[in-house]
Amino acid sequence: MKRLSLLIACLLPAVLAMPAQAHGFGHGGGGYAGYGGHHGGHGYRGGWGNNWVAPVLGAAIVGGAIYAASTPSYAMPAQVVVQQQYLPPSRIAYFCPTSQQYYPNVPTCQVPWQPVSY
């Protein structure tokens, strides 16, 4: 609710100032001090005329602000990623104790091969 009131408090002066900027009073004049004479100026004709942009824009901004403030936001839970520890493949050589050499230098051995890590 605090977020909505803050949003409205910030947008309200801008929305109220838009129609005042778009009124069109400063165009033309003519006549005696610009009051309705028809001596080459337009003067003020009253009504909204072609000044429909400011109210529509103001309504769009206010409507968008209300929609944004009323839309619920959901917090996503933090994802925990567990990485597996990388273990390099163990390197094993086979040693023949009778010939005192390793495989493939010795293709056969009379006693069982001894695995050796390196």
**Residues 21-69: tens digit of each pLDDT:** 555 554 454 444 545 545 555 555 555 567 888 888 999 999 998 988 8
pLDDT at residue 31 in the model:
47
Other beta carbons within 10 angstroms of residue 105's beta carbon come to 8
Could you tell me if residue 102 is inside a domain? no
Could you tell me if residue 85 is inside a domain? no
Q: Domain tally for the chain?
A: 1
Residues 2-8 have a mean pLDDT of 69
Helix (H) / strand (E) element for 101: namely strand 101-102
Could you tell me if residue 88 is inside a domain? no
Could you tell me if residue 39 is inside a domain? yes
Could you tell me if residue 96 is inside a domain? no
Could you tell me if residue 35 is inside a domain? yes
Could you tell me if residue 99 is inside a domain? no
Residues 4-32 have a mean pLDDT of 59
| Residue 70 confidence (pLDDT) above 70 | yes
Determine the structural domain holding residue 26 and report its residue range.
2-70
Q: For residue range 86-118, what is the model confidence (pLDDT) as tens digits?
A: 878 888 999 999 999 999 999 999 999 999 988
pTM: 0.27
Could you tell me if residue 107 is inside a domain? no
R_g of the chain computed on alpha carbons: 43
